[in-house]
Amino acid sequence: MSHITLIRHGQANTGARDEASYDCLSDLGHQQAVWLGDHLRGSGSHYPRVYCGTLNRHIETAASIGYADVVRDARLNEMEYFTLAEAMRDQHGLPIPEEREGFVEHLPKVFAAWAAGEIAEPYESWESFETRTRQVLAEIAAGEGPALVVTSGGLISVAMRQAMCLDTAATARVTLAIMNTSMHRLFPIGGHWSPVLFNAVPHLEAPDRHFAQTHL
């Protein structure tokens, strides 16, 4: 098994309330990715294999980091959170937040209902999302050399859930904590994944870049 470094995409369209309008980087999102690329090159990090999902924000992030020629795999795509949120509104009367801060309470409720099978006919089941996450990372890990994977916060949190046996509430808290362009590394120890890096943003630690430590 090769170790995998997961990267969350740069800041996307924070004002979006649907999947299509969210799926593009903001100017800050591009800058975050450029800074990350500078950091990786400056630290001598070498990734012979680079992957990303097929969402625009994944492809744009990889390109701004400096990786234009990457393997794209739809299994690395994020859950359709806004689709689930609309279903929760229509089926359970849970309003979709108008302010970003509202998602701190909203996301755990959506995750709990989704995992419990309480959202009728979601576009993708919780079990399916977990399965494709496990399968795609296992396939990437089977390759030679370390891999860099540009994806989304939900998939990263589920990968951590599987590595650490987290319950659904803890998985939601992990999701909310993950910053844009943060790095997360899974290392094989004893035949199992062990997180050896979580939510690292060394490229955003300088005082004049603290403003760029964004979650949404």
Q: Residue 8, SS3? A: strand
Burial of 124 (0-12, 13-18, 19+ CB in 10 A): middle
Assess if residue 144 is contained within a domain. Answer: yes
Q: How many domains does the chain have?
A: 1
Assess if residue 58 is contained within a domain. Answer: yes
Report whether 147 contacts 141 (CB < 8 A).
yes
Kind and range of the H or E element at 186? strand 183-189
How far is 92 from 54, CA to CA, in rounded Å?
Answer: 31
Half-sphere exposure of 34 (CA within 13 A, CB side): 9
Report whether 181 contacts 5 (CB < 8 A).
no
Integer angstrom CA distances of residue 208 from 52, 135, 213? 29, 40, 11
Q: Domain range for residue 51?
A: 4-79+127-212
Question: Residue 17: what pLDDT?
Answer: 62
Query: pTM of the entire structure?
Result: 0.94
Assess if residue 121 is contained within a domain. Answer: no
Residue type, position 60, single letter: E
Assess if residue 75 is contained within a domain. Answer: yes
Encoded tokens for 158: 């589920």
Task: Using pLDDT thresholds of 50, 70 and 90, give the confidence band for residue 122.
Answer: confident
Q: Residue 190, SS3? A: coil
More confident residue, 124 or 17: 124
Half-sphere exposure of 142 (CA within 13 A, CB side): 6
Assess if residue 122 is contained within a domain. Answer: no
Average pLDDT over residues 108-135: 94
Assess if residue 138 is contained within a domain. Answer: yes
Assess if residue 99 is contained within a domain. Answer: no
What is the overall mean pLDDT for the chain? 93
Report whether 163 contacts 192 (CB < 8 A).
yes
Half-sphere exposure of 173 (CA within 13 A, CB side): 5
More confident residue, 63 or 188: 63
Q: Which of 15-19, 129-133, 142-146, 165-169 has the lowest mean pLDDT?
A: 15-19
Assess if residue 104 is contained within a domain. Answer: no
Q: What is the CATH number of the domain that holds 65?
A: 3.40.50.1240
Residues 6+ apart with CB under 8 A from 150: 7, 9, 50, 51, 52, 53, 58, 61, 62, 65, 67, 70, 76
DSSP bridge pairs for 188 = 193
pLDDT over 70, % of the chain? 97
